[in-house]
Structure 1
């Protein structure tokens, strides 16, 4: 167990050192040589006290450790040991790529070392020069991601102009049109300007190339697939960060490809962000050149597209052709400036519309709140009105009750008065019949004193 802990600490120390964490590596080294903690108790190897030790870590390799201060320095041969260069620790992304000689200065058009490879004439020359055929094969294989038997070995440049068979039909002009040994056809397009019907035009080009393969009487089995690669100098798919998009015909549910169907590859230069020194393939290098040609000063010694650099360097313009090239470049710069200004205006309008929309939404929310408050106020007012009505009804009921109570009291008083008079009359009659006071009291409920007063009154009336 103790040995296993040491091995783990040793491996961690190696990892820390590989990633430049010298302090952590030193601490682990000191733990290794001062003792290993196990279950809260420190297991210490008994050895003579020394100020420094030279301990073997690898074969023919030692590391210096100073007690109390940790690791002093790794041995020089440690960085070149087999342990340091295992595939487990090696970062694959750090593999050295192609570095293209370039300058960081902003160079005017008439002083750049290279011409713009996106220029229509120059782009066609790069792909159609016989000397560049193998380079083009490599680029097509990279662009289309062809593997195994699908990979292209050789190409033949074909006529890039298609005259329609139907009367007054639309002609098709491809930038580059070629086929391989198996007869598969390839179209390469460089699109600098934005176009509304861009995807329809790509489909039209591929369809034209496919339909023109057969003449009258030929069998459909002779048809070969058409592959189209289009490099665009702007963004088409704003919601996707990939720079390359491959489209094929596929089954909707099973996602299997349609046999011998077309394949479209769209490459967005604006999204290609690989930096110099991390370029690995011919595709990477070519796209980097298209994006950064103004800063490139020469081709790298290990270039995978030397033919492109040589074509650009050896391309000889006549005076008129060079003026036309400069004019195209200036037009391109003007177009881009105008497009940038237009985009800024669009962004400003979009921002203003967004602000207006937000203000309208806030206004609607405020109106809704006001409407809700008004509704609540109306409800409260109605409740108050109903409460007042109920209060009035209650007051009226109380008044009526009081009136009834008064009437009842008056009636009761009258009844009491009548009853008292009746008792007096009865008592007088009983006195006339000479009944005793007690008998009269029991019959009428009058008091003795009252009966006696009545008796006295009756005597006086008889005299």
Structure 2
């Protein structure tokens, strides 16, 4: 039986976002922080470990992972496989909601804690060759960080496809796992990392579970339907724009021909507009 794709948000959450796999999540996060030259974490609390099955069928639901470290840092991990052209605004919106939700009525602003967003992208988004980019709030000229409360990681899977096995850091091995190569390749990667071996074992178990596979296919269909509707709306918009532009062009030509004294019938024949439409244009010229 083929393995499920670990990069699908539903599967990703079932591997990394459950209590029994907290050690996998810690290893995964430490690979990210190591890549960004930041200290790792030793303890973590998963804030949304339960998965509502109805969310699987909702094409707009976000199956993310929210966690809190021992020093109260809030971390949000989200996988986006398709580019909706709004990643930076979407990221800031969800980051701000997570940051602001820490403050309950009557508390002081100093109680707000560092909030980290990690986006794993299935498409190229940042205009450089780096597969892992980390963003902070800095002063333009000196690079001085205003606050470390905001931290955003963008990790792009497509930039990793050509990296040779055996020559990469731990984060790359995790990302290669998420890319879902053949099982033999996954086993080769997992041999070097106990946490990845446990993730692979979890993935194999999920892939053999009939109910999980049904939910997996339902999630794939929901996301496919969503992307198809977005693409269809975009196509309709383009065609509507072309039609509007074509009509406006006809009107402009007709107005010019009328100003030159050409007959209504000749203008109608040349532009494809009706005689009635030509008469309306003439009235507009005289108003």
Calculate the TM-score normalised by the size of structure 2: 0.65
Which secondary structure state, in structure 2, belongs to the residue aligned with residue 229 of structure 1? strand
Aligned match of 2:216: 325
Q: Which residue of 2 aligns with 1:302?
A: 192
Residue number in structure 1 paired with 2:141 = 253
Deviation, 1:152, is: 1.3
Cα contact 2:4–2:203 (8 A) shared by 1: yes
Query: Which residue of structure 2 lines up, in the alignment, with residue 268 of structure 1?
Result: 156
Q: 3-state SS of the aligned residue for 1:231?
A: strand
- What SS is found at the alignment partner of 1:178? strand
Query: How far apart, in 2, do the equivalents of 1:240 and 1:128 lie?
Result: 30
Which of 1 and 2 has greater Rg? 1
Is this contact kept in 2: 1:247–1:264, CA < 8 A? yes
Match of 1:312 in 2: 203
Alignment of 1:31-180 (within 5 A): 111-112=1-2, 114-145=3-34, 150-159=39-48, 173=62, 175-180=64-69
- How many corresponding residue pairs? 215
Give me the whole-angstrom Cα distance separating, in 1, the residues matched to 2:205 and 2:101.
35
For 2:31 and 2:185, locate their aligned partners in 1 and report how far apart those are by CA, in whole Å: 25
Q: CA deviation at 1:328?
A: 5.0
Indicate how the Cα distance of structure 1 residues 172 and 321 shifts in structure 2: closer, same or farther if over 3 A, else same: closer
Shift of 1:286: 1.2
Distance 1:172 1:217 in 2: 31
Where 1:199 maps in the other structure, the secondary structure is helix
Unaligned runs of 5+ in 2: 51-59, 232-287
Cα deviation 1:398-420 (Å, max 9, x = unaligned): xxxxxxxxxxxxxxxxxxxxxxx
> Quick one: which of 74, 77, 95 aligns to 1:206?
95
| Separation (CA, whole Å) in 1 of partners of 2:141 and 2:125 | 27
Q: 1:8: which partner in 2?
A: none
Pairing 1:217–2:106 present: yes
Match of 1:186 in 2: 75
For residue 333 of structure 1, report the CA deviation from its aligned partner: 8.8
For 2:141 and 2:179, how far apart are their aligned partners in 1? 39
- Aligned-pair distance for 1:274? 1.8
SS at match of 1:308: helix
What per-residue deviation string (whole Å, max 9, x for no partner) do you get for residues 18-39 of structure 1? Answer: xxxxxxxxxxxxxxxxxxxxxx
Whether contact under 8 Å (2:5, 2:180) holds in the other structure is no
Structure 1 residue 159: deviation in Å?
3.0
CA spacing shift, 1:331–1:178, aligned 2, 3 Å: closer
- 4+ residue runs over 6 A deviation: 330-336
2-structure distance, mates of 1:232, 1:172: 17
Structure 1 residue 245: Cα displacement = 1.1
In structure 2, the residue corresponding to 1:259 is in which secondary structure?
strand
Judge conservation of contact 1:289–1:296 (CA < 8 Å) in 2.
no
TM-score (normalised: structure 1): 0.42
1:198, CA displacement in angstroms?
Answer: 1.6
User: How far 1:277 moved relative to its partner?
Assistant: 2.6
Alpha carbons 2:41, 2:69 under 8 Å: kept: yes
Deviation of 1:317 (Å): 6.3
How far has the Cα of 1:261 moved from its partner?
A: 2.8
Larger relative contact order (Cα-Cα within 8 Å, sequence gap ≥ 6): 2
Q: How does 1:305-454 map to 2 (within 5 A)?
A: 305-315=196-206, 319=210, 321-326=212-217
Q: CA deviation at 1:246?
A: 0.9
Once the two structures are TM-superposed, the CA of residue 323 in structure 1 deviates from its matched residue by 3.6
Unmatched segments (≥5 aa) in structure 1:
1-110, 162-170, 340-463
Does structure 2 conserve the Cα–Cα contact (< 8 Å) formed by 1:234 and 1:269? yes
